[in-house]
């Protein structure tokens, strides 16, 4: 099984900050990686697919990069509505596996 | 507009069974693999199972293999999850999710339902 190690598990940031979240795969997954945002009590929402493609309607301050085993989600200028938990998902092979999540809180 | 509406959740005793349903609309259901993903209270996301378009190809997480069965009825645009031998560790919100692309490879999820809560407790 492919393990997804996401870091940090939690962080505090201010509005306007640049935020970077990392996911490492235990083996190469090409670009079969997606990023999701989940706000408390809400349904997860896909932000990024194929490692770097922005889902329609998602603000351009979100971007994804990486291939193989190391991936990054970047929020270029954090907005109040971005405080949430973020998850990566590898879909290179079954079983599909999520990262443990990164909770982005207010500093 | 894609809509996924889960139902069937509730309180069940340990060892019991439950069947979840997910009614889909707004897309050609039979063209897409579908999945179940769950989230235990206060925990992260866990993939549970995926079924291919024709209902033949299925995949399960080890944690549910042999206890859960995923199925679909393309004539009714509905996805199911039969859950047997439930334990406290199965307590979670269960989401159905649509595959993000029509490809033969495993896919991610572009749309999710609102979820249905399953509570296993005596």
pLDDT, one tens digit per residue, over B48-85 is 999 999 999 999 999 999 999 999 999 999 999 999 99
Per-residue pLDDT tens, chain A, 107 aa: give them: 999 999 999 999 999 999 999 999 999 999 999 999 999 999 999 999 999 999 999 999 999 999 999 999 999 999 999 999 999 999 999 999 999 999 999 88
Contacts of B60 in chain A (CB under 8 A): 95
Strands (E), chain A: 4-7, 10-13, 19-25, 33-38, 45-49, 53-54, 62-67, 70-75, 85-90, 97-98, 102-106
Asked if residues A63 and B17 have their Cβ atoms less than 8 Å apart, the reply is no
How deeply is B90 buried, as exposed, middle or buried, from its count of CB atoms within 10 A (0-12, 13-18, 19+)? Answer: buried
* Shortest CA gap B25–chain A (Å): 18
In whole angstroms, what is the distance from residue A46 CA to residue B12 CA? 31
pLDDT, one tens digit per residue, over A25-36 is 999 999 999 999
In whole angstroms, what is the distance from residue A60 CA to residue A43 CA? 21
pLDDT, one tens digit per residue, over B34-49 is 999 999 999 999 999 9
Residues of A with CB under 8 A from a CB of B: 32, 34, 36, 38, 43-46, 49, 55, 87, 89, 91-101
Side-chain half-sphere CA neighbours of A98 within 13 A: 24
CB pairs < 8 Å spanning A and B: 64
Residue B105 has pLDDT above 90, yes or no: no
In whole angstroms, what is the distance from residue B109 CA to residue A48 CA? 11
Q: What is the pLDDT of residue B106?
A: 86
Could you tell me what percent of chain A has a pLDDT over 90?
98
Q: What is the pLDDT of residue B59?
A: 97
pLDDT, one tens digit per residue, over B4-37 is 999 999 999 999 999 999 999 999 999 999 999 9
Q: Going by C-beta distance under 8 Å and a sequence separation of 6 or more, which residues neighbour residue A34?
A: A46, A47, A48, A49, A50, A88, A89, A91, B100, B108, B109
Asked if residues A66 and A33 have their Cβ atoms less than 8 Å apart, the reply is yes
pLDDT band at B101 (very low <50, low <70, confident <90, very high): confident
Nearest-CA residue of chain A relative to B4?
A43
Q: If DSSP codes are grouped into helix, strand and coil, which group holds residue B66?
A: coil
User: Which secondary structure element, helix H or strand E, spans residue B43, and what is its range?
Assistant: none
């Amino acid at each position: 099984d492919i393990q997804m190690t996401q870091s940090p598990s939690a962080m505090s940031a201010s509005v306007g900050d640049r935020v970077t979240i990392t996911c490492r795969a235990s083996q190469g997954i090409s670009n079969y990686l997606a990023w999701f945002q989940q706000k408390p009590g809400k349904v997860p929402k896909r932000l990024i697919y194929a490692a770097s493609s922005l889902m329609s309607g998602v603000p351009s301050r979100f971007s994804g990069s990486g291939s193989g085993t190391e991936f990054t989600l970047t929020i270029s200028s954090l907005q109040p509505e971005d405080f949430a938990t973020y998850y990566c998902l590898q879909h290179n092979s079954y079983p599909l596996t999520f990262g443990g999540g990164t909770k982005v809180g207010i500093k | 507009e894609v809509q996924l509406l889960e139902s069937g959740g509730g309180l069940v005793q340990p060892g019991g069974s439950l069947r979840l349903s997910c009614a889909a609309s707004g897309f050609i259901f039979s063209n897409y693999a579908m999945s179940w993903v769950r989230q235990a209270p206060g925990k992260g996301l866990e993939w549970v199972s995926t079924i291919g378009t024709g209902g033949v190809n299925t995949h399960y997480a080890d944690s549910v293999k042999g206890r859960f069965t995923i199925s679909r009825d393309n004539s009714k645009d509905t996805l199911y999850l039969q859950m047997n031998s439930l334990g406290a560790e199965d307590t979670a919100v269960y989401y159905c999710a649509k595959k993000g692309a029509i490809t033969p490879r495993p896919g991610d999820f572009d749309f999710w339902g609102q979820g249905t809560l399953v509570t296993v407790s005596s």
